[in-house]
Amino acid sequence: MLTTRRLLLPFLAFVLASCSAPLGSTEPAPQPAPVTATPITILTTDTSPTPTLTLELLKNAEVNVAGVSASGADVTRTVKLTDGAFTSGSDRASTDYITVNMGQQAAFGDLNGDGAQDAAIIVGAGYGGTGEFVAVVAMLNQNGQPVFAGSAAIDDRPKVNSLSIQNGEILLDAVIHGPGDPGCCAAQPVTESFRLWSGKLTLTRFTSKTPGGVERIIKIDSPAPGSQVAGPFTLNGSVSITPFEKNLTYSVFLEGAPSPVVKSSITVNAADAGSPGSFALPLDFTAAGIHGNLRIEISDISAADGNPLALATLFVTVK
In a domain, 201, yes or no: no
Give SS3 for 245.
Answer: helix
Collect all residues with Cβ–Cβ distance below 8 Å to 10 and sequence separation of at least 6. none
Alpha carbon of 101 to those of 3, 125, 219, 229, 243: distances in Å?
100, 7, 35, 44, 37
In a domain, 24, yes or no: no
Query: Is the pLDDT score of 252 beyond 60?
Result: yes
pLDDT tens digits, residue range 30-61?
A: 555 554 444 444 443 444 578 999 999 999 99
Do residues 69 and 106 share a domain? yes
pLDDT tier at 70, thresholds 50, 70, 90: low
Quick one: average pLDDT of 193-214? 96
Do residues 173 and 222 share a domain? no
Collect all residues with Cβ–Cβ distance below 8 Å to 26 and sequence separation of at least 6. none
Do residues 70 and 115 share a domain? yes
Do residues 104 and 145 share a domain? yes
Q: Phi and psi for 81 in degrees, rounded to 5?
A: -70, 145
**How would you classify residue 179: left for phi > 0, otherwise alpha for psi between -120 and 50, otherwise beta?**
alpha
Do residues 215 and 184 share a domain? no
Do residues 174 and 219 share a domain? no
Structure confidence at residue 31 (pLDDT): 53
Do residues 227 and 128 share a domain? no
Please tell me whether the peptide bond between 260 and the residue prior to it is cis, using omega within 30 degrees of 0: no
The torsion angle over the Cα atoms of residues 229, 231, 236 and 242, rounded to 10 degrees, is 120
Structure confidence at residue 95 (pLDDT): 76
Radius of gyration of the CA atoms of the chain, in A: 34
Quick one: average pLDDT of 121-147? 94
In a domain, 27, yes or no: no
Residue span of the structural domain in which 166 resides: 52-188
Global pTM reads: 0.82
* Of 248, 245, 241, 236, residue with least CA distance to 300: 248
Instruction: Tell which wins on pLDDT, 66 or 44.
Output: 66
Do residues 237 and 167 share a domain? no
Collect all residues with Cβ–Cβ distance below 8 Å to 153 and sequence separation of at least 6. 66, 133, 134, 135
How many structural domains are present in the chain?
2
Query: Is the pLDDT score of 64 beyond 70?
Result: yes
Do residues 242 and 158 share a domain? no
Do residues 169 and 226 share a domain? no
